[in-house]
Amino acid sequence: MKATIKDVARLAGVSVSTVSRALHHNPRISEEVRQKVHRVAKELDFHPNQMARSLVSRKTRIVGLMFPGSAAFSMGHPFYPAVLRGLGQVAGERRYHMLLSTGSENLSDAEAVRDLADSGYVSGLILLAAQDSPMEELLPSQALPVVEIGHPPQAENRYYVDNDNVKAGYAATQYLLARGHRRILFLGYSSRFFVTVDRRAGYEQALTQAGLIPQKEWVVSSSFIENTTDNALLESLFQGQGRPTAVVSMDDALSIGLIGFLKTLGLAVPKDVSIISFNNTQAGQFASPALTTIDVDPYLLGVSAMQLLLDILKGRVQEPTHVEVPFQLIQRDSVAEAPLP
């Protein structure tokens, strides 16, 4: 049987309320009593019952985590474990716990969020908002603070943490332009993803600024796994004279797929085609050639998100804010000077 606050009170020879205050370092308690209470508590291995505590305080020390398409699915990409590491680090330090959205197969993201909120177990929510989803309307109903990682379209009155992906897309493109490339392809997964949209804006901004006109046909999505029609499209693009000499690719996995694909067309990276990539994964580091890539620092994304949420819960943040996490361009071997025209 676990020790309760009453046991501590009895053994310390004080009242229950005194124990409570002593453990909370309330200044109204004398140093002497405070020490004694702490000693007894330790002796009994007393841990306050969180349920009772939460019942009166109307708060828990748990935050809900919502990964797109349920945690288990997204974990396939190294980005998410890294975010999780950041989240867990801060949560652990501040003695919070993390509740995973249990992703049943037949449960939409929005339903999963609602479920988390309704459960009553969490005091706040962290949403990995990779793509647009209809969770807007149901959040106000529960009065739960929400921090999003990756920012939603209309983000004025939301709390979120993100890279400046427009700037990142710009930087990547600029890096290629500076090396003489003029025919630059933009390769992403799907325009449903926020990152794709933002980085594309940066890409077009850089092109325009260099006096080039962004071509709609040169913005392509593919996954190199299922979708053979996309690959046919890519194949036609890379045939012939006016082919791209460089690619801005939204993810290392995509880039690695691309390298293999280009090889089948007789094109070598970076000799014939340069690639600048995103996400700095281990796979990209060991690929050949090793990928020049932009590290968006998912760990820091996680750290910042959890810090922001816990600060909100503590009442230290009032107005909707966002935190920008810096990215870093990592030079390796997948980009070369553009071949002479």
- The length of the chain, given as a count of residues: 341
Half-sphere exposure (CA, 13 Å, Cβ side) for 131? 11
Tokens matching residue 71: 């945690």
Task: State which of positions 49-68 bind DNA (CB under 7 A).
Answer: 49, 52-53, 55-58
Tokens matching residue 106: 């037949």
Which does residue 82 touch among a second copy, DNA, none (CB within 5 to 8 A, set by kind)?
a second copy
Q: Which of 15, 26, 93, 232 binds a second copy (CB under 8 A)?
A: 93
Q: What is the CA radius of gyration of the chain?
A: 26
For residue 221, the surrounding DSSP H or E stretch is strand 219-221
Dist CA 328 CA 331 (whole Å): 10
The answer to whether the CB of 3 falls within 8 A of the CB of 46 is yes
Minimum Å distance from CB 27 to a second copy?
27
Nearer of residues 189 and 218 to a second copy, judged by Cβ: 189
Q: Which of 99, 212, 233, 290 binds a second copy (CB under 8 A)?
A: 99
Which does residue 18 touch among DNA, a second copy, none (CB within 5 to 8 A, set by kind)?
DNA
Task: State which of positions 216-275 bind a second copy (CB under 8 A).
Answer: none
Nearer of residues 100 and 166 to a second copy, judged by Cβ: 100
Count CB neighbours of 118 within 10 A: 12
Tokens matching residue 203: 């890409």
Nearer of residues 56 and 340 to DNA, judged by Cβ: 56
Phi, psi dihedrals of residue 48, rounded to the nearest 5°: -60, 140
Task: State which of positions 17-56 bind DNA (CB under 7 A).
Answer: 17-18, 20-21, 23-24, 27-30, 32-33, 46-49, 52-53, 55-56
Q: Which of 55, 178, 232, 268 binds a second copy (CB under 8 A)?
A: 55
Dihedral in degrees, nearest 10, Cα atoms 110, 157, 122, 140: -60
Using rule CB under 7 A, residue 200 touches DNA: no
Q: Which stretch binds DNA (CB under 7 A): 4-12, 100-108, 125-133, 202-210?
A: 4-12
Minimum Å distance from CB 16 to a second copy?
16
The answer to whether the CB of 291 falls within 8 A of the CB of 284 is yes
Q: b/e per residue, 202-217, with b = 16+ CB within 10 A? A: bbbbbbeeeeeebeee
Residues making contact with a second copy (CB under 8 A) = 45, 47-52, 54-55, 60-62, 65, 70-73, 75-76, 78, 80-82, 84-85, 87-89, 91-93, 96-100, 102-105, 107, 116, 118-121, 141
Residues making contact with DNA (CB under 7 A) = 2, 4-6, 13-18, 20-21, 23-24, 27-30, 32-33, 46-49, 52-53, 55-58
